[in-house]
């Protein structure tokens, strides 16, 4: 039975459906799990994948499933390869100001925590964000969302966390919700730093749990916390995660970024969708993650900028942990939106294979956001979000600064790629 307009994408060189990776829950993705269909046809109905297979089987499939095929729109992809739309599952997209000066301080030897302790770091971005007019926050965030879209990002997670007070946090979440282009998932990150207004961490946490969390419905899809020495403690994380869980929020947390602080093992019993950073994850945490449904989100661009070691991706993947990767785009630890950099670092520094990188940016990241039934693979029933690649898909995540995406489709609709990355 037809339920919406039929779009038939033909002349596809190699189509990476990720069918087997999807079936395996995004764990241990090998080339065979990309489930590549050569000389493929992709049939989309009402924006979702309705059929996918080799062109030789297309006529037969059509006869069996669809009547009135003349009414369908045929679109040639000119022999290009197709991959699922990429998913950025960890970004701090809404902020004002720059931290270029702090970058220079870090080059000269000051640590991220030393800079934070003297009121720089996150607090300096809080100052600029609070004083920025909403329209300015919206236009810069929109430009950044489009920069991601250009790289084939069709689903984008956006955190708050640079307001810290109720008014600015709500303003930033509203800005995030208003963004056009990619599908947006919003995350409240009130417990991101010591607040300038309520410097005592316990009092701030009380305010967050009692005054802010109950006001977030409709604005935040999930909540996050930064658990680290000098930021929020393990005990505060437990208080927060249980309050948020009671209110029905999905959970995630920044853990073990700068030390093996214990946030990961403390957060895991709350069944977070993801635990992120994990640079100092212990064997015990990795083994516990492997037994869980929680996705490990690795953010190697922030490790590069902090000149840190990298998470033990090989140990995680080989143990059966589902891994996702993301830019962590933010003005402090990862002032880059470049997916090619993240993919190359994952390969070079974390020894991930290309199929693992592609899996981590698609089905792995879909799980990290709880969207695995909707996106992350080009299998029947999921959103027809995909990218046509210029050249071979094997050239992806090979050359830093070069991410050869020729066209982007969301729900089978082409996205106008009018924005130029050189636009100020
Ligand atoms: O993911 N670690 C905490 N949050 C961010 C950094 C935010 C900032 O420095 O502005 C991160 O690395
Ligand atoms: Fe982050």
**DSSP characters over 162-182:** S--SHHHHHHHHHHHHT--SS
Gap from CA of 209 to ligand 1 centroid (Å):
21
Q: Which ligand 1 atom sits closest to the C-alpha of 189?
A: 4
Give the integer Cα–Cα distance in Å for 153 and 210: 35
- Asked whether 330 lines ligand 1 (CB < 6 A), one says yes
**What does the block give as tokens for 405?**
């995406």
- Asked whether 249 lines ligand 1 (CB < 6 A), one says no
SS3 content of the chain, % helix, strand, coil (to 5): 40, 20, 40
315 class by beta-carbon count within 10 Å (0-12 exposed, 13-18 middle, 19+ buried): middle
Q: In sequence order, what are the beta bridge partners of 226?
A: 254
Choose the residue to mutate in 88, 122, 263 for probing ligand 1, maximizing ligand atoms within 8 Å of C-beta: 122
> From the CB of residue 193, how many other CB atoms can be counted at a distance below 10 Å?
22
Gap from CA of 99 to ligand 1 centroid (Å):
12
pLDDT, residue 417, reads 61
Give the integer Cα–Cα distance in Å for 291 and 294: 9
Q: Which ligand 1 atom sits closest to the C-alpha of 90?
A: 1
Phi, psi (5° rounding) for residue 363?
Answer: -70, -35
DSSP secondary structure letters along 251-306: EEEEESSSS--SHHHHHGGG--SEEEE-TT--HHHHHHHHTSSPEEEE-HHHHHHT
pLDDT in tens, the chain (424 residues): 555 689 999 999 999 999 999 999 999 999 999 999 999 999 999 999 999 999 999 988 777 777 666 679 999 999 999 999 999 999 999 999 999 999 999 999 999 989 988 889 999 999 999 999 999 999 999 999 999 999 999 999 999 999 999 999 999 999 999 999 999 999 999 999 999 999 999 999 999 999 999 999 999 999 999 999 999 999 999 999 999 999 999 999 999 999 999 999 999 999 999 999 999 999 999 999 999 999 999 999 999 999 999 999 999 999 999 999 999 999 999 999 999 999 999 999 999 999 999 999 999 999 999 999 999 999 999 999 999 999 999 999 999 999 999 999 999 999 976 544 433 3
Gap from CA of 92 to ligand 2 centroid (Å):
6
**What does the block give as tokens for 412?**
């089978």
- Asked whether 122 lines ligand 1 (CB < 6 A), one says yes
Q: Whose CA is nearest to atom 9 of ligand 1?
A: 332
Q: Whose CA is nearest to atom 1 of ligand 1?
A: 328
Choose the residue to mutate in 328, 332, 342 for probing ligand 1, maximizing ligand atoms within 8 Å of C-beta: 332
For the chain, how many residues are written?
424
Gap from CA of 119 to ligand 1 centroid (Å):
14
- Asked whether 254 lines ligand 1 (CB < 6 A), one says yes
pLDDT, residue 5, reads 81
**What does the block give as tokens for 161?**
């966390």
Residue owning tokens 């006529």: 59
- Asked whether 120 lines ligand 1 (CB < 6 A), one says no
pLDDT, residue 331, reads 98
The bound ligand whose nearest atom lies closest to the alpha carbon of 157 is 2
Question: 33 and 359 in contact (C-beta within 8 Å)?
Answer: yes
The conformation of residue 200, written as its DSSP 8-state character, comes to S
């Amino acid at each position: 039975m037809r339920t919406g307009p039929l779009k038939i994408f033909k002349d596809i060189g190699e189509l990476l459906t990720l069918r087997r990776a999807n079936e395996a829950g995004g764990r241990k993705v090998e080339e065979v799990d990309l489930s590549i269909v050569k000389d493929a046809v992709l049939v989309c109905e009402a924006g979702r994948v309705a059929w996918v297979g080799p062109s030789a089987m297309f006529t037969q499939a059509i006869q069996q499933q669809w009547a009135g095929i003349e009414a369908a729109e045929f679109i040639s992809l000119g022999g290009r390869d197709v991959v699922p739309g990429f998913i950025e599952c960890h970004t701090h997209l809404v902020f004002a100001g720059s931290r270029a000066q702090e970058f220079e301080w870090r080059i000269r030897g000051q640590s991220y925590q030393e800079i934070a302790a003297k009121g720089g770091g996150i607090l300096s971005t809080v100052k600029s964000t609070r004083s920025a007019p909403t329209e300015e926050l919206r236009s810069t965030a929109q430009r950044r969302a489009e920069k991601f879209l250009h790289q084939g990002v069709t689903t984008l997670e956006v955190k708050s966390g640079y307001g810290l007070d109720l008014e600015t946090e709500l303003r930033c979440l509203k800005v995030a919700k208003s963004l056009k282009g990619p599908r947006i998932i919003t995350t409240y990150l009130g417990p991101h730093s010591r607040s300038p207004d309520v410097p005592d961490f316990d009092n701030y946490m009380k305010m967050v749990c009692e005054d802010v969390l109950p006001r977030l419905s409709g604005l935040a899809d999930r909540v996050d916390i930064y658990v680290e020495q000098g930021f929020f403690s393990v005990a505060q994380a437990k208080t927060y995660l249980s309050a948020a869980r009671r209110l029905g929020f999905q959970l995630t947390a920044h853990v073990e970024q700068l030390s093996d602080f214990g946030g990961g093992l403390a957060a895991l019993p709350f069944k977070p969708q993801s635990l992120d950073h994990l640079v100092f994850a212990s064997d015990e945490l990795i083994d516990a993650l492997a037994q869980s449904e929680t996705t490990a989100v690795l953010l190697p661009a922030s490790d590069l900028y902090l000149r840190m070691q990298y998470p033990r991706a090989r140990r995680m993947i080989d143990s059966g942990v589902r891994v996702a990767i993301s830019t962590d785009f933010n003005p402090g630890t990862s002032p880059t939106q470049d997916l090619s950099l993240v993919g190359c670092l994952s390969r070079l520094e974390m020894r991930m294979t290309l199929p693992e990188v592609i899996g981590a940016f698609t089905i792995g990241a879909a799980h990290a956001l709880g969207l695995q039934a909707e996106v992350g693979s080009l299998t029947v029933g999921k959103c027809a979000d995909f990218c046509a690649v210029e050249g071979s898909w094997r050239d992806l995540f090979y050359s830093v600064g070069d991410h050869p995406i020729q066209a982007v489709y969301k729900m089978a609709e082409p996205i106008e790629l009018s924005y130029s990355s050189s636009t100020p």
